[in-house]
Amino acid sequence: MNTNETPLLQVKNLRVEFPTRRGTLLALDDISFDIAAGEILGVVGESGAGKSLTGAAIIGLLEPPGRVAAGEIRLDGRRIDNLPYEEMRKVRGRQIGAIFQDPLTSLNPLYTVGRQLVETILTHLPMSPAQARQRAIQLLKDTGIPAAEQRIDHYPHQFSGGMRQRVVIALALAAEPKLIVADEPTTALDVSIQAQIIALLKRLCKEKGAAVMLVTHDMGVIAETCDRVAVMYAGRIVEIGPVQDVIHAPAHPYTVGLMGSIPSMDEDRDRLTQIDGAMPRLTAIPKGCAFNPRCPQAFDRCRIERPELMDAGRTRAACWLHSPQERRAA
């Protein structure tokens, strides 16, 4: 990434809260990251870490009563987290494409996929209906749908799960967005289709210079697809850095545990490493580092003081093991 360029997406000190009768739950706590044009950032962590919530905040689709309570989100230098609903809707269609895990939530079962694609294109791009239809056919071809000229007039139920997900990707790309937020886009698909969709996302970044935020819990997909990866735990980023460094030399004990739980093809192991315990509930996030009750390396400071991201070799980790005092003591 060229450090002189303004990143396409900038998320600064993002805080998302859910007011409840029993008090306010803090779901995302002071999250900051950016993504450059043409870059794929993976966001990984256990269920409940806040991955999907981060994506929803960026595309302006937080479920009420969830709200952005602090921080800011900028797309191409323009602040988008405080836009009125109608204004954000335009941004969402034109500049941000969203791919969700379940294609049926993104497709209207009553309309042909062609009608849905053409309407999206006409809403956002200056084209005639005939040009929009040609673009829709090309998008279906680009996403690997065979016989696109015929399939364009079919309904969502006439497509298999993998093909429906490709239609959703075509829909997300219809207006040539600058940013794509992909939330578990390959989870329900078999491995060969998964590989094709990953290849498609990579090609898009390369050819169109789009930025992609890829939310997943699958480290294999992250390793195959992403330039950098952010590891989330209990509503915070605990480690962020180049994907190869995070995978092969993780700096946060939680990341170490995540990587240890992946089976390796070239190692013969009877058992995989497991992280004891479970992610804390939002109502019971421990003091200090949220991971401390599960951490094999926790010491007193971890139980009292919450660490911010700090330099840890080639990545940045929110872990007191990397504080200058600890390094000196070591």
Q: Is pLDDT at 2 greater than 70 in this prediction?
A: no
Tokens 């990545």 locate to 315
pLDDT attached to residue 330? 54
pLDDT tens per residue across span 278-308: 999 988 999 999 999 999 999 999 999 999 9
CB of 69 closer than 8 Å to CB of 16? yes
Residue 287 and residue 47: Cα distance in Å, rounded?
Answer: 21
Question: Which residues constitute the domain of residue 148?
Answer: 96-176
**Burial group, residue 63, by CB count within 10 angstroms (0-12, 13-18, 19+):** exposed
pLDDT tens per residue across span 250-263: 999 999 998 887 76
Span 303-326, average pLDDT:
94
Q: pLDDT above 90 covers what percent of the chain? A: 69
CB of 243 closer than 8 Å to CB of 42? yes
34 in a structural domain: no
266 in a structural domain: no
Cis peptide before 250 (omega within 30 of 0): no
pLDDT tens per residue across span 66-83: 999 999 999 999 999 999
160 in a structural domain: yes
Q: Looking at residue 125, what DSSP letter applies?
A: S
pLDDT attached to residue 61? 92
CB of 132 closer than 8 Å to CB of 125? yes
CB of 240 closer than 8 Å to CB of 309? yes
Q: What are the phi and psi torsion angles at 184 (to 5°)?
A: 50, 55
When comparing pLDDT for 33 and 4, which is higher? Answer: 33
pLDDT attached to residue 145? 92
11 in a structural domain: no
pLDDT attached to residue 270? 67
The total domain count for the chain is 1
Residue 326 and residue 312: Cα distance in Å, rounded?
Answer: 12
Q: Is pLDDT at 15 greater than 70 in this prediction?
A: yes
142 in a structural domain: yes
First to last CA, the chain: 33
Q: Looking at residue 3, what DSSP letter applies?
A: T
Span 94-115, average pLDDT:
90
Residue 7 and residue 37: Cα distance in Å, rounded?
Answer: 7
When comparing pLDDT for 205 and 172, which is higher? Answer: 172
What stretch of H or E contains 184? none
Confidence of residue 1 (pLDDT cuts 50, 70, 90): very low
Question: What is the pLDDT of the chain when averaged over all its residues?
Answer: 90
When comparing pLDDT for 224 and 234, which is higher? Answer: 234
Q: Is pLDDT at 265 greater than 80 in this prediction?
A: no
Residue 219 and residue 223: Cα distance in Å, rounded?
Answer: 6
25 in a structural domain: no
When comparing pLDDT for 199 and 15, which is higher? Answer: 15
pLDDT attached to residue 88? 94
Q: Which of 139, 143, 165, 313 is nearest to 239 (CA)?
A: 313
130 in a structural domain: yes
CA distances from 69 to 11, 13, 85, 282 (A): 13, 10, 16, 16
Q: Would residue 230 be called left, alpha or beta, if left means φ above 0 and alpha means ψ between -120 and 50 degrees?
A: beta
115 in a structural domain: yes
